[in-house]
Amino acid sequence: MYLILATFSLALVFGSSAVMSISGLLSIFSNNTNIIICMGLGMEGGKILTISHLYRSWQHYNNRVRAGYIFIIVALTLITSFEVMGFLSQSHQKTMQNRHAINSKIDTLNEEELVLRGQINIIDVTLKGLPESYVTKRIQERKNSGYTVKQNRLLEIINKRSMLKTQLISGDDNFNPVSSIAKILKLKDSNIISIFIPFLVLILEPLLIGLTIATNAAWLNNNKDAAHKETFQNNKNLTKNIRSLQKEHQLTVSQIAKITGRKKIKTCEGWIKGTIPTPPRVLADIQAWIKKQNSYSKKTISMIK
């Protein structure tokens, strides 16, 4: 389970880092999209493979070669960090631009509302100067001045401004954590973001390196466990075969020690009991001795006849 989780986590972090890195490169070099994507994938994949190779072959290299590999990893990490930082900053700026655009629309509507209310107020004041008996005249003057049109436009402005404010409030839900921290520290949201983005980048790349090493270690341990199980099964089969030959040919522990050239009888006892790993050569020696004895017995019988 740990092996699956480590590999899955590495894939997620690697994928997100690669996407942000390539997007950052494309925002700078947008004329050669295919080449930039290949280069970005090559650098990100090469970084993972370099870390894995260095971890697996650390003992086989001297300090000079290790330093060379470490320099490559650090250089690729710094490049990726700058690209990711640029991507996150650009994303934040686009989000803020949307907020600024909405605020700008609201300000424009507010200004238009003030102008319309001023015009309506002038019309009302002008019409108040007419005698009350001039009802038809009042209606005609309002129609000519576009009084109804101005009132309808005011209603449209109120509705649009309400929709924009709702959109702005719904967008603010994504900024609640940042806004809350900013309020606690009595700082601007932009100042918190300028601290948060570098901190996130400083965590992302070391996490990628750590997960790469952890995943390699997990796979190596898994391979060792599989090899150990295979060795254990082979040893179990060898022990079973030796016991079968011992029982079939009534061999004593001393005879087995003599056949295999072992001086310690306890070692042979361990082979038979399965407490000590049995070398494959032991079974081959016993089988060769039995074959030799069978051949000798056949020659003796043929000579007697």
Over residues 112-168, the pLDDT tens digits come to 888 888 888 887 777 776 676 666 776 777 777 777 888 888 888 888 888 888 777
- CA–CA gap between residue 55 and residue 51 (Å, rounded): 6
Is residue 228 a part of any domain in this protein? no
Helices (H), ranges, 57-146: 63-128, 135-145
Task: Report the predicted TM-score, pTM, of the whole model to 2 decimal places.
Answer: 0.51
- Do 274 and 195 fall into the same domain? no
Nearest-angstrom CA–CA distance, 271 and 38: 57
In a domain, 242, yes or no: no
For residue 224, being part of any structural domain is answered with: no
Residue the block writes with tokens 């270690």: 217
| Residue of 60 and 144 predicted with greater confidence | 60
Kindly tell me if the per-residue pLDDT of 302 is higher than 70.
no
Q: What pLDDT is attached to residue 228?
A: 52
What does the alpha-carbon distance between residue 72 and residue 68 come to, in Å, rounded to a whole number?
6
pLDDT digits (tens, 9 = 90+) for 184-222: 666 666 666 777 778 888 888 888 888 888 888 887 777
Report d(CA 292, CA 68) in Å as an integer: 60
Place of tokens 């309808």: 152
Among the listed ranges 54-63, 210-219, 255-264, which one has the minimum average pLDDT value?
255-264
The per-residue pLDDT of the chain, averaged, comes to 77
Statement to judge: residues 106 and 210 lie in one domain: yes
The answer on 91 and 31 residing in a single domain is: yes
Q: Which of 169, 193, 218 is the last residue of a domain?
A: 218
Beta-strand runs (E) in 102-261: none
Q: 143 and 280, same structural domain? A: no
Q: In this structure, are 17 and 97 located in the same domain?
A: yes
First to last CA, the chain: 69
pLDDT at position 226 over 80: no
Give yes or no: residues 277 and 163 share one domain: no
On whether both 166 and 300 belong to a single domain, the answer is no
Rounded average pLDDT over 45-61? 88
Do 144 and 197 sit in the same domain of this protein?
A: yes
Percent of the chain with pLDDT over 90: 1
**Stated length of the chain:** 305
Cα–Cα distances in angstroms (integers) from residue 207 to residues 17, 36, 120, 151, 297, in the given order: 11, 25, 64, 60, 71
Question: Is 202 among the domain residues?
Answer: yes
Structural domains counted in the chain: 2
In the chain, % of residues over pLDDT 70: 79
For residue 268, give the nearest of 282, 288, 281 by alpha carbon: 282
258 and 160, same domain (yes or no)? no
Q: Residue 287 belongs to what domain range? A: 251-304
Instruction: Using the predicted structure, report yes or no on whether residue 71 has a pLDDT greater than 90.
Output: yes
Mean pLDDT of 2-11: 83
* Claim to verify: residue 73 and residue 205 sit in the same structural domain: yes
Same domain, yes or no: 33 and 106: yes
pLDDT higher than threshold 60 for residue 301: no
Tracing tokens 């719904």 back to the chain, one arrives at 170
pLDDT exceeds 80 at position 13:
yes
* Same domain, residue pair 134 and 178: yes
- Tell me which of 169, 196, 218 is where a domain ends: 218
